[in-house]
Amino acid sequence: MEDFLQKSCYEFLDCLAAPQPVPGGGGAAAMVGAIGVALANMLSNYTVDKPKYAQVQAELQNLLTEGSSYQKELAALVGKDAEAFYPLSQAYRLPKETEEEKKAKAEALENASKAACLVPLDIAQKCAAALAVCCRLAEIGNKMVLSDVICAAVFLQAALKAAGVNVNINLDAISDKNWVQEKVALLAELISQGDDLAEETMRKVNDRLREKK
Domain ranges in the chain?
7-210
Query: How do residues 147-205 score in pLDDT, each as one tens digit?
Result: 999 999 999 999 999 999 999 998 888 999 999 999 999 999 999 999 999 999 999 99
The structural architecture, per CATH, of the domain 7-210 is Up-down Bundle (1.20)
What's the CA gap between 179 and 139, in Å, rounded?
A: 38
Q: How far is CA 182 from CA 84, 123, 188, in A?
A: 20, 17, 10
Cα–Cα distance measured from residue 9 to residue 126, given in angstroms and rounded to the nearest whole number = 22
pLDDT at position 4 over 90: no
- Tell me, yes or no, if the pTM score tops 0.75: yes
> Cα(27)–Cα(114) distance, rounded to whole angstroms?
17
pLDDT of residue 85: 82
- Report pLDDT for 212: 59
pLDDT of residue 213: 54
Res. 3 pLDDT band, cuts 50 70 90: confident
Torsion angle, alpha carbons of 22, 28, 30, 36, to 10? 160
The pLDDT assigned to 1 comes to: 59
Residue 6 is given by DSSP the state G
In whole numbers, what is the pLDDT of the chain averaged over residues?
A: 93
Residue 88 pLDDT level (bands cut at 50, 70, 90): confident
